[in-house]
Homo-oligomer: A and B are copies of this chain.
Amino acid sequence: MKPLQSYNSEEIEALELALKNEYNEYKSKNLKLDMSRGKPSTKQLDISIDMLHILENNKDYFDENGTDCRNYGLLDGIPEAKRFFAELLDISPEEIIIGGNSSLNMMYDTIARAMTHGVLGSEKPWFKYDKIKFLCPSPGYDRHFGICAHFNIEMITIDMLEDGPDMDKIEKLVSEDETIKGIWCVPKYSNPEGKTYSDEVVRRFANLKPKATDFRIFWDNAYAWHHLSDKHDEILNIFDECRKAGTENMVFEYASTSKVTFPGAGVALLAASVPNVSFIKKQLIVQTIGPDKLNQLRHVKYFKDANGLYEHMKKHGEILKPKFNCVLQTLKNELDGYEVAEWNSPRGGYFVSLNTMDGCAKRTLRLLKEAGVVMTSAGATFPYGVDKRDRNIRIAPTFPPLEELETAMKLFCICVKLASCEKILSNL
């Protein structure tokens, strides 16, 4: 196989014709497959099914302090749930606020409260500024960007490098502009590239010297325990590094069991310094009487401790590893040598990120959609939905069964090649 760019026009046209025939064959199969989101598969959900029945074997619904978890109370969670997550994140239980079933909702709430009331250290609520800005390492998570767009927060795209976002740029920007109030990070197995921030990157984050007194790092540790195999990434504990730098108040960390137990019925949490936690709890008490404690109890009784969760995550890895292998193997088999795409091989997380030749992502995904397979929209992984180079595609292999995934990936590779041919021909 030789690089597509080196083909002459006859060769390209011949390849395009052959690909079109292949494509039409797939199209006639009337596929219908939604790979747009990072959803666990049914098999993965079945792993945790015993958790739903864990309270039946234990007729008491009381937490370790005797609080009836069925009743009102405990704004920030039951003590054993705080301790459980504290162990998982290697911080102290006092640094944890347990929420409902969605860490996204907790991030949204954090920013909504900051807009109307500011965060600890704010001179004024964020809405009092004509314009505030967030840094957005990209490609990144579309729902992070959606929150910014909703609150009219200007998004500044930061390139993702091999070991994390472009720290030179981040350090410069935050030190100069006091309207930069935050940055979105998925530090481990990043969405969508599956990259894990290096020790140096984490240390540089902890040592940021923002001009804004109320700048916050939104550390969305969504895939903290989501390894594909025993060979997994490690990441420094940002709070440890912040303590050394005296910047503990600069970080809001989020995590959840959405992709550990049930996406629809997991437990989410916010981790932050004790002063941040105190500040937030004073606002939170106006907002709610407290999250679902029975579901916290289910989780703690089921996992018992961090090790219980780590063992559990291995089962997810066993289901996911073959799917990621299928994606990577198909990409390799079908695209290697053409030099029309690059992709990562993550050791965890939920995605494979692929870059086509510039200007080919939208076309690839339109071709794919017309043949019945939906992936995350092109551009979604960038602020404002605009990928200037129109090349990034987020592949979410987790939900479909392996056989369907294999079909979808073969079709996907045809679409990538077809879009590349069209592009090269149009440039001739």
Contacts and interface: CB of A to CB of B under 8 A. Distances in A.
A294 B52 contact: yes
A111 to B, nearest CB: 10
Interface in A251-309: 258, 262-265, 283, 286-295
A68 B43 CA distance: 12
Interface residues of A, number: 52
Contacts of A100: 100-101, 291-292
B264 A72 contact: yes
Nearest to A53: B56
A287 B150 CA distance: 9
A233 to B, nearest CB: 25
Contact of A264 (B55, B150, B293): B293
Nearest to A71: B263
A24 interface: no
Q: How many copies does the complex hold?
A: 2
B72 A105 contact: no
Nearest to A288: B105
B105 A71 contact: no
Contacts of A105: 287-288
A263 B289 contact: yes
A61 B262 CA distance: 11
Nearest to A399: B71
A283 B70 contact: no
Contact of A72 (B39, B42, B52, B293): B39
A108 B288 contact: yes
A397 interface: no
Interface string A46-61: 0000001101100001
A37 interface: yes
Contacts of A262: 70-71, 294
Interface in A90-140: 100-102, 104-105, 108-109, 112-113, 115-117, 127
A112 B102 contact: no
A73 B40 CA distance: 12
B116 A112 contact: yes
Contacts of A55: 52-53
A102 B99 CA distance: 12
A345 B42 CA distance: 53
A294 B108 contact: no
B263 A70 contact: yes
A289 B45 contact: no
A236 interface: no
Contact of A265 (B37, B56, B283, B295): B295
Contacts of A112: 112-113, 116
Contacts of A104: 287-289
A70 B265 contact: yes
A290 B264 CA distance: 7
A291 B263 CA distance: 10
Contact of A45 (B39, B70, B288, B292): B70
Contacts of A7: none
Given A53-B53, A287-B108, A264 B70 contact: yes
A104 B55 CA distance: 27
A264 B71 contact: yes
13 contacts: A45-B70, A52-B56, A52-B294, A70-B263, A71-B264, A100-B101, A104-B287, A104-B288, A108-B287, A108-B288, A143-B286, A150-B283, A265-B293
Interface of A: 37, 39-40, 42, 45, 52-53, 55-56, 61, 68-74, 100-102, 104-105, 108-109, 112-113, 115-117, 127, 143, 146-147, 149-151, 258, 262-265, 283, 286-295
Given A71-B264, A264-B290, 15 more contacts: A39-B71, A40-B71, A45-B71, A52-B55, A53-B55, A70-B262, A100-B292, A101-B292, A102-B288, A112-B113, A116-B127, A263-B289, A264-B293, A265-B294, A292-B295
